[in-house]
A and B are shown apart, each in its own frame.
Chain A
């Protein structure tokens, strides 16, 4: 456990130090790269609650990532055009409000999706979550009011009280802070009564039911919490790119989130962070060399699945032990 704590602290410091150094050296591109890592890591932390703790292989988390993105995009557009949302309620560019809306929307939509999907398990669960995400994807594509296939631009990055979010470093720090909160939430959940029940549902659902805890309710709650965290990351991702598009909702995105978690080590606190770091760096370095960089990503993923089941965190910090 101690080795893992050191590894975690190292990753956290690394992710903080690089943009700070880049800022003093006047290299804003690396700050953006680090922001991308932080935001994708947060999305994967969300998925890690469902997948890592609960064993729920959701192939539809892009739905929540994208919904979070659209929450930011739609609110920003309305505020930019000074159009009220509905019933005359004014829109806002305040990030905290947008985050709340994004999480609320994702939680509310995750409940019915989860309630239906969790009636199934295994490969059927994977397919149903995928189907729901695709439904939302096609809905977004065919809704011209918010850009349809072209997506939705955010002309001015949304604001956070007291912070100039238009500059890369402050915005990175906002994302980094939320990633830290997300990790704290994951850590607290994992150690709590709820986390105990959720992990037991993954290991042996019959045992959980036999002591009197209905696995369905536990899993559904986890699915909703997981969706809310991923949705929050989606709102940040839209603000990072100043753009929301249906591609955030596509099944590629769902797959990417799964890759981040599995690459980093599912169920591990810093697995999503390690996974996002490797993914974004490969995308940047290999992507600079060849357009076929995902071929090499595939090879690495193959290696991890075959030889390092615990993912990167398993390699760095050894096998996980429960209390």
Chain B
């Protein structure tokens, strides 16, 4: 078996009496899209926060590319190659779309302690950033402040920022959230191709997208993973149907 890119073992997080993460083990394999689904309050966001480093687990391990990430903060994990997108768009609102992506290119290149050279005249920042915006179809909006972008465009911007990090794995938290059907369709197609560049751990509510994209699905309910498997297995798993999909699915 190939080594997983991301390897989560027996992860635990309690908030008082609530077991938000209750012994979760999960692998992200090279080249796959691994979807994490579950009803509201199942602990998906808590899990994502622990993987990305904004929340400290009570127990268990998270290994990324074979390295234990316990002692690393969010920035250090990002530098290792874990690119994260946010459930609600989180960008620098006053900066243009281009400058938001340039910030990621700059982070990828290393030092931000350069004090004099103007970034807007730095082709090693502008050109790669522009290329990422073109890939997500946002090039014509490059110079618009992020605050003035539409909701859907900000979602695209999040993806462009993640791309600019040239990551070893993507951690996408509901990338389709609030997108129209047309946008969701385009993004589904885009993510389908993206898995060839780096595997994706995808948290998503849009079941059409999940079933179209996922190589494997894990179902999280009350902080536990009740099933992991191929799309067809999950669709037919009686426990999953009862707990989550409902009999209509």
Is B114 a contact of A192 with CB atoms below 8 Å? yes
B147: shortest Cβ distance to chain A, in Å?
10
Is A212 a contact of B92 with CB atoms below 8 Å? no
Known: A188-B116, A191-B120, A203-B92. A323 touches B99 (CB 8 A): yes
How long is the Cα–Cα vector from A197 to B103 in the complex, in angstroms?
A: 7
Known: A206-B90, A208-B103, A211-B107. A197 touches B95 (CB 8 A): no
How long is the Cα–Cα vector from A5 to B143 in the complex, in angstroms?
A: 20
B165 beta carbon closer than 8 Å to chain A:
yes
**How many of A's residues come within 8 Å of B, CB to CB?**
28
Known: A189-B115, A323-B120. A214 touches B75 (CB 8 A): yes
How long is the Cα–Cα vector from A321 to B145 in the complex, in angstroms?
A: 8
A119: shortest Cβ distance to chain B, in Å?
13
Contacts from A to B (Cβ < 8 Å): 188-189, 191-197, 199-200, 203-204, 206-215, 218, 221, 321-323
B136: shortest Cβ distance to chain A, in Å?
16
Q: Chain B residues near A322 (CB, 8 Å)?
A: 94-96, 99, 145
How long is the Cα–Cα vector from A191 to B115 in the complex, in angstroms?
A: 8
Q: Chain B residues near A206 (CB, 8 Å)?
A: 54, 74, 86, 90
How long is the Cα–Cα vector from A206 to B118 in the complex, in angstroms?
A: 24
A265: shortest Cβ distance to chain B, in Å?
15
Q: Chain B residues near A199 (CB, 8 Å)?
A: 92, 94-95
Q: How large is the interface on B (under 10, 10 to 19, 20 to 34, 35 or more residues)?
A: 35 or more
How many A-B contacts are there with CB distance less than 8 Å? 115
How long is the Cα–Cα vector from A228 to B94 in the complex, in angstroms?
A: 28
How long is the Cα–Cα vector from A191 to B102 in the complex, in angstroms?
A: 13
How long is the Cα–Cα vector from A194 to B96 in the complex, in angstroms?
A: 17
Q: Chain B residues near A321 (CB, 8 Å)?
A: 145
Given contacts A214-B73, A322-B145, 15 further A-B contacts (CB under 8 A): A192-B118, A192-B119, A193-B117, A193-B125, A196-B95, A196-B103, A196-B112, A196-B119, A208-B92, A209-B73, A212-B78, A213-B103, A213-B107, A214-B75, A214-B76
How long is the Cα–Cα vector from A307 to B99 in the complex, in angstroms?
A: 29
Contacts from B to A (Cβ < 8 Å): 52, 54, 73-76, 78-79, 84, 86, 90-96, 98-100, 102-104, 106-108, 111-120, 122, 125, 143, 145, 161, 164-165
Q: Chain A residues near B75 (CB, 8 Å)?
A: 208-210, 212-215
| B143: nearest chain-A partner, CB-CB | A323
How long is the Cα–Cα vector from A192 to B52 in the complex, in angstroms?
A: 28
How long is the Cα–Cα vector from A203 to B100 in the complex, in angstroms?
A: 11
Q: Chain B residues near A188 (CB, 8 Å)?
A: 115-116, 118
How long is the Cα–Cα vector from A207 to B101 in the complex, in angstroms?
A: 11
How long is the Cα–Cα vector from A213 to B102 in the complex, in angstroms?
A: 13
Is A210 a contact of B120 with CB atoms below 8 Å? no
Q: Chain A residues near B86 (CB, 8 Å)?
A: 206, 210
How long is the Cα–Cα vector from A207 to B108 in the complex, in angstroms?
A: 14
Is B115 a contact of A204 with CB atoms below 8 Å? no
Is B96 a contact of A323 with CB atoms below 8 Å? yes
Is B93 a contact of A203 with CB atoms below 8 Å? yes
B45: shortest Cβ distance to chain A, in Å?
14
Output the residue of B76, B95, B104, B112 with the most chain A CB within 10 A: B112
| B112: nearest chain-A partner, CB-CB | A197
Q: Report 8 cross-chain contacts, Cβ distance below 8 Å, ordered by A residue.
A: A193-B119, A194-B112, A200-B103, A208-B75, A208-B92, A210-B90, A211-B104, A212-B76
| A200: nearest chain-B partner, CB-CB | B92
B64: shortest Cβ distance to chain A, in Å?
13
Q: Chain B residues near A210 (CB, 8 Å)?
A: 52, 74-75, 78, 84, 86, 90
How long is the Cα–Cα vector from A152 to B119 in the complex, in angstroms?
A: 45
Output the residue of A193, A194, A206, A209 with the most chain B CB within 10 A: A193
B195: shortest Cβ distance to chain A, in Å?
21
| B165: nearest chain-A partner, CB-CB | A211
**Interface residue from A189, A211, A214 paired with B103 (Cβ < 8 Å):** A211
Is A212 a contact of B145 with CB atoms below 8 Å? no
| B105: nearest chain-A partner, CB-CB | A211
How long is the Cα–Cα vector from A208 to B165 in the complex, in angstroms?
A: 12
How long is the Cα–Cα vector from A221 to B112 in the complex, in angstroms?
A: 11
How long is the Cα–Cα vector from A211 to B79 in the complex, in angstroms?
A: 7
| A197: nearest chain-B partner, CB-CB | B112
Is A213 a contact of B95 with CB atoms below 8 Å? no
B95: shortest Cβ distance to chain A, in Å?
5
